Amino acid sequence: MIHALGFSSTPFKPTNPGRLCRGRERWVQGWEEDQDPLWRLVISGASFTDDSARDATRGLVCIGADIGAILSELFPGKTLVAFREEALLGELPDYVDPEADEDAWQAPRQGGRWYDACQRWRAVVSDPAELSRLMTDDLVDGFLVMDEVELPLPEPLDDAVFLLTSRSDGTRFPVRRFQPLALRTVLEHCDAVICAHLDKHGPAIGVYTLDRLDRSALLTRIAEKDGILPVPFAIPPMLARWDRALQELRLKWMAEKDTEFPVPPAEEPTRWSRGRRRARRGGRSSSEE
């Protein structure tokens, strides 16, 4: 199997956030408000046998990526504050004191037919292995990227995180976790917000900032160090077609390198490889959807 790390770095409009992974996650419905665009870096992965990616499994856990190392290296020297809005009491991390927070309640579940005992928590997490566990086991909503901070969080920041996650619903698919219009409010108090998004078969990382953020060189280096193929995308990889991105990368690879492209071609040409040939004959170029 080929393991590939996909990433994109693009503007993001909270007022028109678009889709997340189809069938897996949606945004919480917002309200009418004018906001300037933010910047979004999305990181996911996929494993597959050839460049058709027909058998792809998608998500960072599907490629054995060290999620904790990725998160740590994205913002070296910064503090990561994990946050969770509706944590089941039986899934609280050991370092979260269930008696230290009064924000515990019986959360109604699908149709109001039953309730789960839940608690809101925040914690500073520095161990890459623990960062990986929280993401892999779906135990965290995201992370705040900050300079040194003491808990509890300052009230304005804590209120902003509550606005971001308070209308979340993880009891049915597609899940709804984040209110996009709250991201800017959170970013007034921290350097970046890392959201734990869902790809088709596992987690993906969404990093939101006020200013442009491009970590392509870093992610390429991380991937190649672990024997993983780095694949740039023009749109978030949890939304895009891997076969098309691979064809784009193959053409670039053939133009710039003398070595063979590491992804074997499918027995039947993919839609995008045929389209590429037609585009070249017609003098046109295609771009990522």
Assess whether pLDDT exceeds 60 at residue 204: yes
Please, how many CA atoms are within 13 Å of residue 158, restricted to the half-sphere of its CB? 12
Q: The pTM is what?
A: 0.90
Distances (CA, A) of 163 to 54, 85, 157, 167, 194: 39, 10, 10, 8, 15
Cβ-based neighbour number of residue 278 at 10 Å:
10
Q: What pLDDT score does 163 carry?
A: 97
The conformational region for residue 283 under phi > 0 = left, psi -120 to 50 = alpha, else beta, is left
Which is nearest to 240 in space by CA: 1, 5, 6? 6
The helix (H) or strand (E) run that includes residue 79 is: strand 79-88
Q: Provide the pLDDT confidence category of residue 280 given band limits of 50, 70 and 90.
A: very low
For the segment 77-120, what is each residue's pLDDT rounded down to a tens digit? 999 999 999 888 889 999 987 766 566 666 766 655 667 788 89
Which is nearest to 273 in space by CA: 253, 246, 237, 240? 246
For the segment 49-59, what is each residue's pLDDT rounded down to a tens digit? 999 999 999 99
To 5 degrees, how large is the angle CA 261–CA 267–CA 268? 110
